[in-house]
Amino acid sequence: MRKRWVTGQSSPWVNNFRFTKEEKLSESKMRYTVNYDVETSTQNLVNGQKIIMVEKNLYHLESIGLFHQ
């Protein structure tokens, strides 16, 4: 089964997402870095990165970045 992250519309979509960094900041706080590709049916548009902070089972996006090829 392929995992996909839907952007809220049919195209483009997020594919090939992977956790590239995991940091334990405290007993109740973790930071994860996720890298991914934004694609359409014909091409890879950009590579992106999100940093997600998880604290006591709550999460928020710390930063969002897109890297054009």
Average pLDDT over residues 40-51: 84
Distance in angstroms (rounded) separating the CA atoms of residues 10 and 58:
28
State the chain's mean pLDDT as an integer.
79
Query: pLDDT category, 12, cuts 50, 70, 90?
Result: confident
Confidence at residue 9, expressed as pLDDT on a 0 to 100 scale:
62
Whether residue 36 has pLDDT greater than 70? yes
* Domain chopping of the chain, boundaries: 18-36+46-60
Which tokens sit at 49? 């990165």
